[in-house]
């Protein structure tokens, strides 16, 4: 098992070329946030914008629109009940993040199946939170052409893989990942990333991170990194490392680290750790 260390940062985070514009840094669509879980998709959207994604569109329940724009005027809003009218935005995205706060009702299921139908070659599809629960409970097939990234915590991974938390060893996880054709980020206090026959273990992270919304933030951050950086598997590793490294730094002086504080720290962290060659 390889370790994910600081080296991944300069390998992935590049100095921005002068001759660039918002389109250079990727279009992301985030889908989630039912009436009760609006905060989840707002936190994911915050991480996407603060990690540098060029254009971010949030598909969510309309009750979340004002809060979304209060937190994040940079994001565009689409009422996810009108998904069909805006399907082209999803088709034209570089990255789709689905699941934070999506819930598991019929609306959520419809949004997930429609998104799976649209996902195509060249897109990165990040499947998190409720979307993983729906995937597992309905035995859905992952889209075959997109690059799929699953971000389950241990219970979600148990639902998707059938492996009980106590039995989630690298060998058992590896066998389940092979059947999925996806990059899988199994989140815990020492998160593991399964990619193309390899296993990587994160070296950072703190119990100060154990706050609802921390995983929603990671999903948006993986979205932001995969939207901008060419090597997608490396971008996933760098996002996982960045998320915990920021938390570790804040936890030197804070008892608890809030998810939105990770996002707010991203621009300075990425500035410090960009490669300049
Ligand atoms: N402010 C918000 O709107 C929030 C919305 N959330 C959304 O709520 C939905 C349900 O997600 P939840 O994860 O809360 O609920 P789940 O029911 O999917 O998972 C939580 C269950 O898993 C167990 N578990 C075992 N190992 C775990 C581990 N390593 N990490 C986390 N849980 C573990 C917990 O004890 C608990 O019983 C998702 O769509 C999520 O995005 C949550 O992110 C919390 C914050
Ligand atoms: N004790 C801990 N040590 C390190 N990281 C943690 C700890 N507790 C939680 N985390 C991190 O916080 C995130 C929690 O994800 P998740 O359970 O999906 O949160 P949510 O769905 O509430 O947003 C994961 O990235 C996990 O690695
Ligand atoms: Mg989660």
What pLDDT, in 10s, does the model give residues 205-235? 999 999 999 999 999 999 999 999 999 999 9
Evaluate if residue 277 carries a pLDDT over 90.
no
Mutate to test the pocket of ligand 1, among 34, 35, 37 (most ligand atoms within 8 A of CB): 37
Q: Is the CB of 190 under 6 A from ligand 2?
A: no
pTM of the full structure: 0.98
Mutate to test the pocket of ligand 2, among 153, 154, 250 (most ligand atoms within 8 A of CB): 153
Q: What is the ipTM score, two decimals?
A: 0.99
Sign of the CA dihedral with 96 first, then 102, 107, and 110 last: positive
Q: How confident is the model at residue 276 (pLDDT cuts 50, 70, 90)?
A: confident
Class of the CATH-defined domain 2-272: alpha beta
Closest CA to ligand 2's atom 1: 207
The minimum-distance atom of ligand 2 relative to the CA of 190 is: 4
Q: How confident is the model at residue 34 (pLDDT cuts 50, 70, 90)?
A: very high
Tokens standing for residue 162: 């059938």
* 136 labelled binding-site residue: no
């Amino acid at each position: 098992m390889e370790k994910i260390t600081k080296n991944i940062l300069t390998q992935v985070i590049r100095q921005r070329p002068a001759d660039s514009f918002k389109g250079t840094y990727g279009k992301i669509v985030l889908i989630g946030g039912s009436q009760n879980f609006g905060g989840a998709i707002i936190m994911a959207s915050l991480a996407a914008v603060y990690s540098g994604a060029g254009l971010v569109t949030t598909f969510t329940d309309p009750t979340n629109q004002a809060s979304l724009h209060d937190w994040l005027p940079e994001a565009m809003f689409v009422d996810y009940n009108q998904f069909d009218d805006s399907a082209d935005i999803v088709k034209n995205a570089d990255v789709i993040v689905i699941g934070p706060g999506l819930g598991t009702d019929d609306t959520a299921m419809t949004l997930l199946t429609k998104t799976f139908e649209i996902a195509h070659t060249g897109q990165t599809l990040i499947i998190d939170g409720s979307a993983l629960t729906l995937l597992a409970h309905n035995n859905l097939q992952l889209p075959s052409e997109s690059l799929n990234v699953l971000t389950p915590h241990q219970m979600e991974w148990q639902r998707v893989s059938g492996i009980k938390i106590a039995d989630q060893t690298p060998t058992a996880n590896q066998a389940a990942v092979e059947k999925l054709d996806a990059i899988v980020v199994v989140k815990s206090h020492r998160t593991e990333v399964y990619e193309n026959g390899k296993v990587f273990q994160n070296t950072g992270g703190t119990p100060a991170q154990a706050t609802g919304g921390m995983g929603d933030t990671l999903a948006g951050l993986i979205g932001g990194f995969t939207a901008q950086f060419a090597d997608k598997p490396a971008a996933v590793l760098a996002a996982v490392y960045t998320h915990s490294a920021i938390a570790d730094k804040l936890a030197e002086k804070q008892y608890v680290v809030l998810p939105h504080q990770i996002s707010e720290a991203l621009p300075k962290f990425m500035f410090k750790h960009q490669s300049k060659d």
